[in-house]
Each structure stands twice: as structure tokens, then as C-alpha cells.
Structure 1
Amino acid sequence: MRFVHLNSLVLALVCAVPTVASAQWQWIDSAGKKVFSDQSPPPDIPEKNIVRRPGGGSPRVTFPQGTPSAAPDAAEPGTAPAPATAASGARPSGVDKELEEKAKKAEEAEKAKRAAELQKVAQAKAENCNRARQSKATFDSGIRVARLNAQGEREIIDDKARAEEQQRLQTVIASDCK
């Protein structure tokens, strides 16, 4: 009997989860990005940009501009009291300061990452330039140069292969040594 009660409790909880998750607002902000929140959008978001409300299609409640220090019972009958914002009474801007700081830090980290990658590329080009210049000097000197073939044997490079290698090295020097 106890097992049946436990199963029905688990089933009830599983069925209740989607209703809690659907209690979200969804709107398009001034930058054109979709915003999901459990709080209503800021007052500067037009009604046409609100994509989804919790609980269906009830319109957004707007409050008259009043002093935040007014007592709730002093409000006109039939209107809800304005929610208290910050202690200063300022209107919420709709932008989270912590989120802005995180976005700035992420952007700075991305810039630093790109700069480090560019530095690595520049260093690799400088190394390629030095190797190409040294190899070109070796080939231009006229000394015999040998390479290993597929069987692991040393072969002396002929004049045609030497000219091709000198041309290839000149191309590397022209592209990497700037």
C-alpha cells in the first residue's frame, strides 16, 4: 500500500514540473535578442515584442507613475500598488549589471585569446622565414645536398630539383619574411 502512495506522489510531481517551467516570460529586447525570464519585461518593452506570458495571454499590468513612498492603501480603488524597485525609487533599466560585467570580461578574454593566437602565428612565420633563408643560402652556395628517399637511402639532388627547391624557398621567404 505504501508503494502505491509513493508512486502516485512521484507521478504528481512529474506532472507538476512542466507547469512550473512554463511560468516564464519571453520577449524580444531592443537589440533583437530573445529574453527568457521569470519576471515580467521592463516597461520600455512594447506589447508587440512580448512573445509569451506565464499562464497564457493575459495582458501585462501597467502601473501609473507615482511616488514609491505612497502607501498601498492610498492608491486609487481598483488599481494595484506599484512594486517597490530599488531603495532609490529609480525605474529598472532592464539590464543586469553582473551580466554586463560578465559579458565585458568574456569579450576581453576573447580579444586576449585572439591576440595570443596572432602572436603565435607571427612567431611561426618568423621561424619559417629564418629556416627558409638558411636553406636558400645552402642551396645558393652550390654545395651538394642529399635527401633520403622512400627506401631510406641518401640521394644527391640534381640541378632540376635544386632549382625547384630554390624557387619554393623563395616563395616562402616572400610570404613569411615581411
Structure 2
Amino acid sequence: MQISDLPPPSGTPDKDILQRPAGYKPPPVFVLPYASKAEAAASAAAAASANAPSKAELDRQARQREQEKLEKQQEREAIEKHKQQERRYAEQKRENCSRAQENLRMLQEGMRISRRNAQGENVILDDRQRSEEIQRTRAIVASDCGGN
């Protein structure tokens, strides 16, 4: 014995169904007079084939399922690509943060910092240039290090 909230499979004979839910009304049975059992069988076969999906419909459904599958795969790939870009961006920010913090430390400790001028000569930063560079580096630290 099996109890379920779902109806029995369509091929289950009525004699095998022990109890039906309250308020159940059996479907109406129409008996049409046929000249022979052969006509009745042919009519039943025609009705069954009319309810069955055509080959074109089955092909359309298969193409639709394949299209949905392809779209889901493309969506997953796009999400993964976006995540990879975010990871690369986060890694670049961490690297920039580390470099900016190191540069800021060197500038604040008073280490001699030189740059090349337009003629290719090394020029040591004066106090004004050092102060400007410290401000610029602090802005980089604030943006790439989250204000640390």
C-alpha cells in the first residue's frame, strides 16, 4: 500500500486505487456508437496521436532547452570573468598600497630621494617637493589602503 498526495500514474487501473480524496468526481465517460471495434481503436489512436507533441514541436523544445543551457553557461562564464577581474583589481590595490606605504615611510624618515630631470640628471628633492610628494603619497595610501 502506498499513500501519496499526488495522483497515481496515468496507467493505474481503477481496481488498484483503494481510496480517493473527498469530493472526487470521476471524469465523464462518453460512449460513441461505432460501427466496429476497429473504428473505435482507430479513433482512440488518432486522439492519442493528436495529444502527442509533433516532431517539429519536440525539435523546437530540444533547441529551446539547448539555448537555455548555453545562456546559463555564458552567464556563469561572465560571472567568473567578472570575479577574476575583481580579484586582479584587489591584488593591484594591495600592491599599490604596499608600495605607497613604503614610499611614504621613506619620505617621512627624511631619506634622500632623487629624481631625474628633463636633462637626465639626478636631482634631490627639496623640502617643498618632499612635502608635495608626501601629500600625494598619503592620498594614494588613503585610496588604495582603505584609509590605513
On whether the aligned pair clears a TM of 0.5, the verdict is: yes
Aligned mate of 2:114, from 130, 146, 152: 146
Matched, 1:168 2:131: no
Report the residue type matching 2:98 in the other structure: N
Question: TM-score, normalization: structure 2?
Answer: 0.59
Displacement of 1:82 after TM fit?
4.5
In structure 2, C-alpha distance between the alignment counterparts of 1:86 and 1:130, rounded to whole Å: 66
Aligned to 2:88: 120
RMSD: 2.9
User: Which structure features the higher share of strand residues?
Assistant: 1
Report the alpha carbon displacement of residue 95 of structure 1 after superposing the two structures with TM. Answer: 7.4
Cα distance in 1 between the residues matched to 2:91 and 2:65: 39
User: Mapping of 1:38-117 within 5 angstroms?
Assistant: 70-71=45-46, 82=50, 84-85=52-53, 96-117=64-85
Normalised to the residue count of structure 1, the TM-score between the two structures is 0.50
The number of aligned residues is 100
Answering whether residue 124 of structure 2 is matched by residue 156 of structure 1, we say yes
Q: Mark the structure with the bigger radius of gyration.
A: 2
Shift of 1:70: 3.7
Q: CA deviation at 1:143?
A: 1.9
Match of residue 27 from structure 1: none
Percent pairwise identity: 37
Measured after TM superposition, the shift of residue 85 of structure 1 is 1.3
Which structure has the highest helix share of the two? 2
Structure 1 runs of 4+ aligned residues shifted over 3 Å read 81-84, 92-95
Give a deviation string over 1:155-176, Cα, whole Å, max 9, x none.
Answer: 0111111001000100010111
What are structure 1's unaligned runs of at least 5 residues? 1-68, 75-80
* CA distance in structure 2 between the aligned counterparts of 1:148 and 1:86, rounded to whole angstroms: 79
Higher RCO (C-alpha 8 Å, min separation 6): 2
Q: Deviations over 1:72-124 (max 9, x none)?
A: xx8xxxxxx9485169x99x869711111100000000000000000000000
Name the aligned partner's letter for residue 169 of structure 1: T
Hey, what's the Cα distance between the residues in 1 that align with 2:136 and 2:54? 69
Q: Match for residue 103 of structure 2? A: 135
